[in-house]
Structure 1
């Protein structure tokens, strides 16, 4: 199967198969993983791609072993996702944005800004509806709380919440 055929098959059929616990979920996970291996630049072992995930053409996306892309997630071109990453539903990983600096021209006529890939380290948990802005690096072991908007890099093992996401403590802290 060519990459183009895999993209067509994914968006026409595979992305619509159910996610756990709906009957048929095991087949849906298997099918999406098999198809995405033909689309992404790298797709590790035991990856889960949940129902309705969207990643455009999948260009230059990398995902590590035992990681998952959550239900309804949207992943931008060039995103790098490490091993053992958990994503809640409806995550947005943005790697580009519109230009808007020239007030004399409508925003829709200013084009896109250059691509800024997002890197997500190993053993990271992104809660439901997290938005990660272009160019951000979320380091290993970080936890991002539900509905946070990540506008800057998050250090290793940090727990960050809010809009914009702020570090409130670190994993393992007893306080």
Structure 2
């Protein structure tokens, strides 16, 4: 009887921890990439226009090229005059001064519809989901079994996780093609 009660308590605690890890993973993915993915996919109305003043190539800490950013004046949709300067992140090309680009705002930066940006942030989101999902899957599987173990872990945990991870690139490709066709 004691063994059965211990398994029930173990399962309940591990289930709660597993669900917390899963919820935390989705929250982290949304906070770090969600708004940028939505902006780069072109979902929702345009927030305004950036009148480009200059563009420049960006690099990472090792000097590798990471894309093109542009500085310019941001005019909100429906406003008569520019409001402030803003950075257009991951521009499709190096725009000439004075060129106007429709943008959506996310995390204090402007984004245009861009398959490259969508793929960049989407890949990061998939990596985060894979790491958090694998841990949550193991915890939920352990709660279901009533003990920590690896028997059948590949079938019950990594199979559905692989299906989710496989679905995300398909979604990113569909959204990328949609952005290209605009």
TM-score after normalising by structure 2: 0.24
TM-score after normalising by structure 1: 0.25
Greater relative contact order (Cα < 8 A, sep 6+):
2
